[in-house]
A and B are shown apart, each in its own frame.
Chain A
Amino acid sequence: MKRRDNLLVGSLVLVATLILLGGTIWLARGGLKSGYAMYSRFPWGAGLKQGQPVLLAGVNVGFVDRVELIPDGTLVVTYKVQSQYRIPVGTTATVQANGIFGDQQIALTPIRASTQSLPEGDTIPVGIAAPGIPQLLSKGDSVAANALALSAGLRTTFVDSGGINEIRATIKEMSRLLTQVSAVTAQQNRQLTLTQASLRRTLSSVDSSKVDSTVTNLRAASANLEQLSREFKATNTQVQTLLDKVSTGNGTAGRLLNDPAVYEQLQVTMRRVDSLLIDIKANPRKYINLRIF
């Protein structure tokens, strides 16, 4: 009985001790395989605590292991990153709000795709933090001030100086104009309807057999014109060939037109003929010896 008591008590104490140590290590370090450490130095980290998640491109890759304020006024934050994840070179770390109740998380943002990764125990540079609630409230204040100024300007322009009455008058005029346009459109619509009906009547009165014969005649005329065109084209070709010959100086006509020597001989001949005619006119008996009987 005494040995059984010892065994039971010892077993209970052992189990409790294992649960205590295992549970504490699991909660504090994420298990016995807690990954590797990385570091960052933040100028500001309100609400940053041990156990908060560390996200790489939005994926939970570890947790904050330690937050330490060193004498130069910066926060040295130690992360525990799971062994299967590597931090690409160029990654920056920022403290981000996790939800709207002041909880924080570390966001590791890769700047560019990189196959190289930071070595274990390296320091991840700090990136530009997203604006916090105070900054957003400040922006909101300036936006509200601008909106107020805009509202005051609109009031001055449209209410105080009577601009709104002008807008109302303009709208009234526009309404009247639209009424007139609408009336004109209706009238035009009626006219178009009448024209369409008249056209339909005209079209229905056309004899289709006559139209067919006209079309047939037109086709024949078209064929004739086509034939004429072909013949004209052949004639044109022949004339072109003739002109080519003439222009190249081949043949009698070509030489006549293109050879200057022929022209000069002709001119000499003409001059001689001219002088001959003059001489004949002057001395006809020299050339004409007419004898009757």
Chain B
Amino acid sequence: MFGMDVAVRLAERRTAGILRAIGKRAYFFRDIMRGLREPGTWIPETIRQMRTIGVESVPLACIVAAFLGGVTAFQTRYQLFPGVQLSVVGLIIRQSIVLELGPLLTALVLTGRVGARMTAEIGTMRVTEQIDALETLSFDPVAYLALPRLLAALLMLPVLTILANATAIFSAWAVLVTATDVRTDDFVAGLRLSFTEFQVVYSLIKAFFFGFAIAFVCAYEGYVTEAGAEGVGRSTAQAVVIASVSILVLDAVVAAVLAPFIQA
């Protein structure tokens, strides 16, 4: 009886902890939405964050996408057994990259590069009491720190995903025509096979959600950082892990909801 009581209390405590965590994040999201009322605070910073998150991440996103496309093309070609028309390679590469690998790997790479930096920046401002100073100066710290990053990530993740998809498909074509027996005609025929515009929209929807996950999780973890430099490191690591897992979960959710609509 006593053991049962302890188990129930433990479960209550755990459940309460989860609900508290959800509630805190909901409040944080509410504060971000409130920040929209002060465009003078977040618009200039948003442009700067778009450059940081978007423009400065282009080389990394393109390099990753180039290798991704090349390797996918090579492996796809040599996993086909004899008799399969070679245009299938183009189809598999397009579907793999546009629907899954392009947005997912771009988001995961940006989680490490952009999300960690975001958490570290905001966390450092928190532990050095710069955020308190902003509040003292009647600045809304959420509108100034979190909202621009969130908007920038929401806009730039789709942009980077477009570039990554294009780079990956181009590198796949280059690898196929130079290193395998697949011709440009086969590849292009496969690329066009069963293509619908919604497949691109699907990729951008995923990128949009991934951008939200990176910016929201990383900004929140930085915003609630405690206990000095060690706390900053812990928050950063935690932010990257939570953001990565969130991306994978969102990927599964989006696929489950929208996959029936992507078939031509």
Contacts and interface: CB of A to CB of B under 8 A. Distances in A.
Tell whether A and B belong to one assembly. Answer: yes
Interface of A: 2, 5-6, 8-9, 12-13, 15-16, 19-20, 23-24, 27-28, 30, 49-53, 60, 63, 98-101, 103
Interface residues of B, number: 34
A8 B163 contact: no
B48 A5 contact: yes
B186 to A, nearest CB: 11
B159 A50 contact: no
Contact of A28 (B159, B162, B196): B196
Interface string B137-157: 000000000000000000110
Interface string B231-264: 0000000000000000000000000000000001
B113 interface: no
A19 B195 contact: no
B189 A16 contact: no
Contacts of A16: 158-160, 162-163
Contacts of A15: 163
Interface string B150-179: 000001101110110110000000000000
Specify the main secondary structure of chain B where it touches its partner. helix
Nearest to A9: B50
13 contacts: A5-B48, A5-B50, A5-B51, A13-B155, A13-B159, A15-B163, A16-B158, A27-B195, A28-B196, A50-B264, A52-B193, A100-B83, A103-B85
B44 interface: yes
A50 B195 contact: yes
A64 to B, nearest CB: 9
B195 A9 contact: no
Contacts of A30: 192
Nearest to A27: B195
Given A20-B200, A28-B192, A103-B193, 9 more contacts: A9-B51, A9-B54, A9-B55, A12-B55, A19-B162, A19-B163, A24-B197, A52-B194, A99-B83
Contacts of A12: 54-55, 58, 156, 159
Interface in B65-103: 83-85, 88, 94
A52 B85 CA distance: 13
Interface string B182-210: 00010001011111110010001000000
B47 interface: yes
B192 A2 contact: no
Nearest to B152: A9
A50 B196 contact: yes
A98 B105 CA distance: 33
Interface string B38-73: 000000100110110011001000000000000000
Contacts of A100: 83
Q: Which 9 A-B residue pairs are closest in the complex by CB-CB distance?
A: A16-B159, A99-B85, A51-B192, A16-B162, A51-B193, A49-B194, A9-B50, A5-B51, A8-B55
A52 B195 CA distance: 9
Given A20-B162, A24-B197, A51 B51 contact: no
A102 B200 CA distance: 25
Nearest to B193: A51
Contacts of A63: 192
A98 B88 CA distance: 11
A150 B193 CA distance: 47
Given A9-B50, A28-B196, A2 B44 contact: yes
A50 B48 CA distance: 42
Nearest to A20: B162
Nearest to B56: A8
B167 to A, nearest CB: 10
Nearest to A101: B84
A23 B155 CA distance: 19
A49 B189 CA distance: 13
B72 to A, nearest CB: 17
Contacts of B163: 15-16, 19
B199 to A, nearest CB: 9
A275 B162 CA distance: 153
A230 B84 CA distance: 91
Contacts of B156: 12
Contacts of B158: 16
